[in-house]
Chains A and B, each alone.
Chain A
């Protein structure tokens, strides 16, 4: 398969392929012969999925991949180093689990995972699940997340286990971004893969500042990522060990506000050091009984400094945070019948947060998550159901008259879900799911000094969704359509409000939002001889209404930042190693407050990007079956130089051009 070949993105595969039994399990490495359909065929499909190694000219940041997905809203504070989080169908980022190779990447402090930190250099596949991913041997936390994004770092970049890839990216914002991946076989059963990536960007770009044009300052970033992976095969099993280190130093350019002359917008800097080690061991003990053991240790250090010496307006914060977590998960899968299986998983996690911030309560959290799930796979009907129990013990210091004392609190929740899928014809599939999930209050919600409220309850999300998929192929053409209506209700929503004084805020479980919407997607693809082409249209409708406090001015108003209409167009043509791709993202008008007044109106925007890629196949190296390739690409983002903002006060970059050269061997 040629690397430059246009891989017909996403959902091209699902329906027909699975029915033909051709879908390859993504994480299972069992030999195909011993695998029956209940082990391999998921009940619900990914709403969106992209294979980054195969896709032509994929975006470089995972956040840029996700922003094209239907139902996803990226909150982006702009620039290479700006925080990027996602909302899925109006569920906040706290409800969206990000899973790297099946193990959650989490952050107990604020429950926001910065997607800007994930580069596509090491990620094989990105998938989004609205309901429940139902594979065997999942962790309990996978069942507990409201919506899930799966990032699979994968070996298949080097099909025979040996090889490497060097990618270099440069262009706008003073970006220098070399990334190296290298893999080798250590014996018949062991594979090693290492990767390193360095990024530097000055983050400078012009933006319209009220009636003038300024250059965004203090948005620079330097980062270094080092990873190694060991993958081992066992008799009827496999294991993986993954070590990850990431360090960055970046500036936060701050919101664009009125500033007295001579005062910068911001001089805030943050330095991060993230380390984790995670491992997985999957084993089939009998043809019907398998287990997976997973473990992770993570250590995240953050140093935040407002640098008052450079900004006379800054409040003088110079704070250090260290977050540690230990995680252990054991999953069992019993295949009770040829077409039915029972899954049981238990997860145990310990989180600790330390800081030198004032009145810091040094919270500790021990979370137990347990799930029992069942799957059944019939000829045309598939079903899955699960019940999760999650309990979290928090221990924290609490201020008492004359001193501090240790306090504790237990929170728990039951989370059920049912999924059903029906494939009456090879070209038609319908599915339904219902799911209730909870997200625990974050440490910031509970214990942030002068703001947290230690008596918060978990925030709940009820999701009901349907999915109708149609696919048809005729000669060189194939077409795929998807329509997914849904209804979500977020209740006990955690909202920050000030108390009797504006100096003392509190968090309360007072919010409620009712979200009804639909995602639609159409794919048309063409393949004949050297020519490939594809066209993808996406559209999302979201009516997300605030139903927090009856009689308040925001009752019945659209939730801030949620556009009623959004969508995108992607077109791609490939010929003999050349690929030209066009992408347009469209977002309707929004308001940054519930009050739909002119002051808080954010106009609709559309931005387009155009990319051109060429892949050259070089003569094979001695002793290698795979020919090395050289790929060169140029991408122009925001082609028409439209000013736009995803978060009010945080302008996004205008037209910018980045060049990528990749050599793989």
Chain B
């Protein structure tokens, strides 16, 4: 059981997520069986996965985040499932879907610019709860709580009254926060201040690791500087117990379940490149860089899969060539992945042979999801605008 839980801890990662074979469970009859979409080949997909959810971010201010899923029982790729299964939710899923994770039989989605953490039934995509959190970014779980990083907690300190309204008490502090949501009551059960504009979050061995980006701080007075730290929070006391300097502009956080924590950074877009860093949970001061050039990354078990390009600071629009790596026990190995004509925007690893790559296209019109089997593209479907996040059930 502990083992299964630790897999759930991994769920809440950024752009990316990965899936792990769960024990076979009997398929329950589902209300969403009537939904149909494009049929794709799911032969030899890992057993134990019933659905792969795809959260399409949409564009900021356009209220067009959408939820797709791939149903493995019949190989249907279904788009716009949230609206179809929740016809009374007039406003749809909301504005900018920033993260998705499965916990038990629930799908948790972080709707960034709507300020909502949305909880759905994984079986039929019907809404179970919509929890207000200011500018939420990413999510991770332990066995009692969901942990959600938040920017806007960033600029405001406040609490929710009995009607669910947000009451402000202070707004002078530009740091971000980590919110804790009780999995039983689905209500906020505390918050703690972390670094500037926290992004990725992961849980390992009773500690929560938050990657602070400083993405906004770098653009505004007085400091115009990125954050470069990981905040460590003790899950039992929900207090920050340590701050680990890593590198500028942190993004994703992963735990390999064996004591190693991986963090990706975006760099500063000028002279510091994106990179992957690793540290040991019991020697957090010893941070080392694994590799440069990480555009997207995902974890499966103890292995981080990364795709990146050396020409990431080339703004000319020339086609880029991407390279793929797997990282295990802190060591990188090359991986053959045919990414011709694909601009990877997101990545999910179902097993070592089966990868899903999201391609945002022109970022304005619906993008696509490519399935790579043994390194080559096996099929491609049209998704929503900016297919950015995956989760398996």
Give A contacts to B, CB under 8 Å: 209-212, 254-263, 308-309, 312-319, 356-359, 399, 401-402, 449-450, 453, 455, 495, 497-504, 506, 508, 510, 549, 552-554, 592-595, 597, 599-600, 648-649
Contact = CB atoms under 8 A, between A and B. Distances in A.
Contacts of B154: 308, 316
Contacts of A308: 152, 154-156, 171
Please name the 7 residue pairs, one residue from A and one from B, whose CB atoms are nearest each other, closest first: A210-B90, A260-B132, A358-B219, A211-B90, A258-B94, A262-B165, A308-B155
Interface in B361-392: 361-366, 382, 385-386, 388
Query: Which interface residue of B215, B269, B363 has the most chain A CB atoms within 10 A?
Result: B269
A501 B364 contact: no
A606 B184 CA distance: 50
Given A262-B165, A359-B219, A552-B362, 13 more contacts: A255-B61, A257-B62, A258-B111, A308-B171, A312-B166, A312-B168, A315-B151, A319-B220, A450-B269, A500-B309, A501-B274, A553-B382, A554-B364
B295 A501 contact: yes
Given A317-B220, A359-B224, A503-B215, A263 B132 contact: yes
Interface string B251-281: 0000000000000001001110010000000
Contact of B88 (A211, A318, A593, A597): A211
B156 A554 contact: no
A5 to B, nearest CB: 47
5 contacts: A209-B91, A255-B95, A257-B114, A258-B116, A554-B365
A599 B165 contact: no
A510 B317 contact: yes
Contact of B95 (A258, A262, A312): A258
B354 interface: no
B29 interface: no
B134 interface: yes
A260 B115 contact: yes
B219 A255 contact: no
A314 B114 contact: no
Query: Which interface residue of A255, A402, A453 has the most chain B CB atoms within 10 A?
Result: A255
Query: Which interface residue of A254, A260, A549, A554 has the most chain B CB atoms within 10 A?
Result: A260
Contacts of A553: 361-362, 365-366, 382
B77 to A, nearest CB: 15
Contact of B386 (A256, A357, A502): A502
Nearest to A551: B341
Nearest to A306: B155
Given A260-B114, A312-B156, A399 B270 contact: yes
B365 A594 contact: yes
Given A258-B63, A309-B156, A357-B219, A401 B271 contact: yes
B26 to A, nearest CB: 35
A498 B91 contact: no
Contacts of A506: 315, 317
Nearest to A650: B61
A633 B364 CA distance: 45
B113 interface: yes
Contact of B91 (A210, A316, A495): A210
Given A455-B316, A500-B295, A503-B215, A313 B88 contact: no
A450 B166 contact: no
Contacts of A504: 266, 269
Nearest to A598: B80
A81 B113 CA distance: 24
B323 interface: no
A592 B365 CA distance: 10
Nearest to B368: A553
Nearest to A307: B171
A256 B90 CA distance: 12
B93 interface: yes
Interface in B149-163: 151-156, 158, 160, 163
B130 interface: yes
Nearest to A263: B115
A599 B383 CA distance: 13
Classify the secondary structure of A's interface with B.
loop
B23 interface: no
A409 to B, nearest CB: 14
Nearest to B367: A553
Contacts of B312: 499-501
A603 to B, nearest CB: 16
B56 to A, nearest CB: 10
Nearest to B131: A260
Given A210-B90, A450-B269, A499 B315 contact: yes
Nearest to A254: B61
Contacts of B224: 358-359
B134 A313 contact: yes
Given A255-B61, A450-B219, A504-B269, A595 B365 contact: yes
B120 interface: no
Contacts of B364: 554, 593-594
Contacts of A499: 312, 315
A260 B295 CA distance: 31
Nearest to B322: A500
Contacts of B104: none
B155 A497 contact: no
B6 interface: no
Interface in B225-240: none
B135 interface: yes
Contacts of A259: 114-115
Contacts of B160: 262
B216 interface: yes
B46 interface: no
A261 B171 contact: no
A497 B151 CA distance: 24
A499 B57 CA distance: 16
Given A258-B116, A262-B166, A316 B61 contact: no
B118 to A, nearest CB: 10
Contacts of A359: 218-219, 224
A39 B320 CA distance: 57
A554 B362 contact: yes
Nearest to B158: A312
B301 interface: no
B116 A599 contact: no
B92 A258 contact: yes
B212 interface: no
A186 B60 CA distance: 56
Contacts of B49: none
A65 to B, nearest CB: 29
Contacts of B181: none
B95 A316 contact: no
A500 B388 CA distance: 13
B360 interface: yes
A449 B226 CA distance: 14
Contacts of A648: 62
A275 B57 CA distance: 42
Interface in B82-127: 88, 90-95, 111, 113-116
A501 B294 CA distance: 10
B138 interface: no
Contacts of A402: 271
Given A358-B220, A500-B309, A257 B365 contact: no
Given A308-B152, A308-B155, A497 B362 contact: yes
Nearest to B65: A258
B54 to A, nearest CB: 15
B55 to A, nearest CB: 14
A541 to B, nearest CB: 24
Contacts of A316: 154-155, 174, 216, 220
